[in-house]
Amino acid sequence: MKLLLLAAFSLFTSTLVAQPNKKVTTTTATSNSIARPKLVVGFVVDQMRWDFLYRYYDRYQPNGGFKRILSQGNSCENTFIPYTPTVTAAGHTCLYTGSVPSIHGITGNAWYDNLQQRNVYCSEDNTVTGVGSNSNNGKMSPRNMLTTTIGDELRLATNFRNKVIGIALKDRGAILPAGHSANAAYWYDGTNGIFISSTYYMQQLPQWVQQFNQRRLVDSFYKTPWNTLYPIETYVQSTKDKQAYEALPFGKSLEQFPYDLSANIGKNYWNIANTPYGNTLTLEMAKSAVIHEQLGRSGFTDMLCVSLSSTDYIGHAFGPNSIETEDTYLRLDQELGAFLNFLDAQVGKGNYLFFLSADHGVAHVPGFLQANKLPGGTYDDTKAMKAMNDSLKAIFGIDQLIVSDYNYQITLNEQKLDSADIELEDVTNWIIKYLRKQPAIANAFAIDEMMETPLNEKQKSMFANGYFPTRCGHVQVILKPGYVEGKNTGTTHGIWSPYDSHIPLVWYGWGIKPGVTRRETHMTDAAATIATMLRIQMPSGCVGNTITEVINNP
């Protein structure tokens, strides 16, 4: 009798194992697999402030991209960057690693490396060479990033049988999101107007990339003047065209709409980044990658990391209250909608997980603030650094003691101090006193005394999360809200304030529960959320938390 019962139980349990669970059907492989999307697509809109989702909402098209993802997806309305400096390389890295600079090591777009005693660019790598170009723009890789990305973990989860690809105009916008084990990263070489890669990934460009480059799309875009998408008088959300505080990225002869770009044909290839056509070029490259790499068709979950860089260049030059910025987002709305339609056709609606975010926000142009009686101004960091070095030489007898002011930090040459038997504390105390007297500066403190320095808790947390000892300085500078590093035109970003740190994070597609998430979330939560949804390991330095509200049946 016991034998009969044992046999029956074995038959029953084997039948349970053999039958597929209908609740975990998959879009990537067989019906008894864990449910995962065919493709994950990440869009980083460089310098997109959170309020841009709604600032132009009335002008976004019903069939455009922004209203589609907001109405059918889940928007995390209070997503913040949890560190400083709020700059491109750190932002892209944090979104895809779920980590912060104090762990992943990307402390800025560049930094002074205290071990190497030189300036280091975030994605530089002199052990590799360019593929598709002989310029130094190809000597790039993710080796300076110390942790894995969500793409790396996705590759590990499939035993490297899927594909992960990064695409952007900026090298750092393509390389850092894609990760260490990416199949490819492609970025734009402004010296010759084509997309390139490096020997870190491949020995030669795939045929489809070569063919894409042969189309010379940049020159075709230059043939079309950049005029406003709609009559210019309808841009009532923006300041009138041609302001003295705006930069002139196309030269003094082109100060306002329409911008005739034809003089750039066959040269000045990087100027495309200062127009919405830079986004168009990037999206065309992304579409080609989906088609020719057959992303979403590997039988496993593939990943495409796209960064749209033109919004950043346009924002720096003209500011967030300009017609140029408004027009760029109205155009991007249409292009985002078209790209989602493209994914529907290529991968299948409901078969891909899409998210849109930003690497940082941006401050208003100081001239605009002053014209409207709002607090703000400029801090000439280059002039201040020279003045401090001159004074330090007079006091301590050593020339060029300050070697860097990257990332709102003052870095000193410790070797010179040691050789002269001068106490580091004496020099940092002098610098702090000097900086605290400057009109643009709210505070300055010795970084190694951060935990003992009276600071707002949010600021203290953000500065601590941005501190990686060998890649950071000795004195932290805190600008007053509304103040930016620079001179009389244009604007920038990088500090703790909400206009630089409050970013969009909108989810759409596979596995997403439509709605709005209003509690505070962080940039670092994106990678953790994707890992949870895909049931894979979080990146190796991840400190983020899963945003369970966005997941359908978490």
pLDDT tens track for 433-469: 999 999 999 999 999 999 999 999 999 999 999 999 9
Distance between alpha carbon 53 and the CA centroid of its chain, in Å? 17
pLDDT > 70? residue 64: yes
Please write the tens of the pLDDT for every residue from 289-334: 999 999 999 999 999 999 999 999 999 999 999 999 999 999 999 9
Tokens of 551: 């997941």
Q: Does domain 39-365+499-550 have CATH number 3.60.21.10?
A: no
Choice among 5-9, 132-136, 162-166, 499-503 with the minimum mean pLDDT: 5-9
pLDDT > 50? residue 9: no
Instruction: Look up the pTM and report it.
Output: 0.93
Strand partners, 185: 166
pLDDT score, position 33: 78
Average pLDDT for residues 497-524, to the nearest whole number? 98
Residues 6+ apart with CB under 8 A from 90: 83, 101, 106, 107, 108, 109, 359, 466
Q: Are 87 and 109 in contact (CB under 8 A)?
A: yes
- Nearest to 271, CA basis, from 311, 222, 333: 222
Q: Are 121 and 109 in contact (CB under 8 A)?
A: yes
Q: Are 493 and 479 in contact (CB under 8 A)?
A: no
Strand partners, 121: 110
User: For 348, which DSSP code?
Assistant: I
Please write the tens of the pLDDT for every residue from 162-174: 999 999 999 999 9
User: For 133, which DSSP code?
Assistant: -
- Helices assigned H by DSSP within 191-345: 207-214, 217-222, 277-292, 310-318, 323-343
Residues 6+ apart with CB under 8 A from 450: 460, 463, 464, 467, 476
pLDDT > 80? residue 117: yes
Q: Are 506 and 73 in contact (CB under 8 A)?
A: yes
Average pLDDT for residues 207-220, to the nearest whole number? 98
pLDDT score, position 513: 98
Is the four-CA dihedral 264, 266, 270, 272 of positive or negative sign?
positive
Please write the tens of the pLDDT for every residue from 339-394: 999 999 999 999 999 999 999 999 999 999 999 999 999 999 999 999 999 999 99
pLDDT score, position 390: 97
pLDDT > 90? residue 4: no
Average pLDDT for residues 197-214, to the nearest whole number? 98
pLDDT score, position 128: 98
pLDDT score, position 553: 78
Q: Are 145 and 97 in contact (CB under 8 A)?
A: yes
For residues 26 and 40, the model is more confident at: 40
Tokens of 150: 């969500």
Q: pLDDT band at 15, cuts 50/70/90?
A: very low
- What is the pairing mode between strands 377-379 and 483-485? parallel
What are the Cα distances from residue 476, in Å, to 9, 84, 362? 68, 11, 20
pLDDT score, position 226: 98
Active-site positions read 88
Q: 442: buried, middle or exposed (CB in 10 Å: 19+, 13-18, 0-12)?
A: middle
Strands of the sheet containing 409-412, edge to edge, are 402-404, 409-412, 475-479, 441-446
pLDDT > 50? residue 26: no
Residues 6+ apart with CB under 8 A from 16: none
- What is the pairing mode between strands 118-121 and 110-113? antiparallel
pLDDT score, position 3: 37
pLDDT > 50? residue 404: yes
User: What span, in angstroms and rounded, lies between the C-alpha atoms of 131 and 36?
Assistant: 33
Average pLDDT for residues 471-482, to the nearest whole number? 98
pLDDT > 60? residue 532: yes
pLDDT > 60? residue 236: yes
Please write the tens of the pLDDT for every residue from 408-435: 999 999 999 999 999 999 999 999 999 9
User: What span, in angstroms and rounded, lies between the C-alpha atoms of 175 and 145?
Assistant: 10
Q: How many CB atoms lie within 10 A of CB 166?
A: 34
Q: Are 309 and 360 in contact (CB under 8 A)?
A: no
Choice among 22-36, 76-90, 160-174, 449-463 with the minimum mean pLDDT: 22-36
pLDDT > 70? residue 223: yes
Residues 6+ apart with CB under 8 A from 315: 47, 325, 362, 491
Q: pLDDT band at 259, cuts 50/70/90?
A: very high
Query: What's the N-to-C CA distance of the chain in angstroms?
Result: 44
pLDDT > 90? residue 38: yes
Distance between alpha carbon 99 and the CA centroid of its chain, in Å? 13
User: What span, in angstroms and rounded, lies between the C-alpha atoms of 547 and 288?
Assistant: 32
Q: What percent of the chain has pLDDT over 90?
A: 93
User: What span, in angstroms and rounded, lies between the C-alpha atoms of 75 and 372?
Assistant: 31
Tokens of 545: 């938390």
Q: 7: buried, middle or exposed (CB in 10 Å: 19+, 13-18, 0-12)?
A: exposed
Please write the tens of the pLDDT for every residue from 485-502: 998 899 999 999 999 999
**Where are the domains positioned within the chain?**
39-365+499-550, 377-485
Q: Does domain 377-485 have CATH number 3.10.20.30?
A: no
User: What span, in angstroms and rounded, lies between the C-alpha atoms of 154 and 537?
Assistant: 8
Q: What percent of the chain has pLDDT over 70?
A: 94
Token look-up 């945003």 returns 547
User: What SS3 state is found at 38?
Assistant: coil
pLDDT > 60? residue 13: no
User: What span, in angstroms and rounded, lies between the C-alpha atoms of 324 and 239?
Assistant: 10
